[in-house]
Amino acid sequence: MKTLEDVRRQLYLGQFEFSQHAFKRAVERNISEREIREPGENAIVIEDYPEDKYSPSFLLLGFTSAGRPLHLQVSLMDSEVTKIITIYEPDGGQWINYYQRR
């Protein structure tokens, strides 16, 4: 199983793939590959899903160089790339400082 450091490194290096859902969401929300790579290096785990449906996963919070907050749910399954399950800009009405649910 991947560690947070593994995930950070793969995101930063662009070694990731999208689930169909995540790809659709990235296009809808105008989230670029660069914006995924930028926060990869400093992303923090805000939720841990060890019993997730298909594989254990993390919900990460990271910020782009422009300060845009992003949540990325990523699979922790061992592989050459990190699979992004979903990605979105957190809604301030649902999150406190983007990392704690209201």
Sign of the dihedral defined by the CA atoms of residues 10, 78, 49, 5, in that order: negative
102 residues of the chain, pLDDT tens digit each: 999 999 999 999 999 999 999 999 999 999 999 999 998 888 999 999 999 988 999 999 999 999 999 999 999 999 999 999 999 999 989 999 999 999
Amino acid symbol at 31:
I
Residue 14 · residue 33 · CB < 8 Å: yes
Q: What is the pTM of this model?
A: 0.93
Determine the Cα–Cα distance for residues 57 and 35; give it in Å rounded to an integer.
20
Residue 58 · residue 80 · CB < 8 Å: no
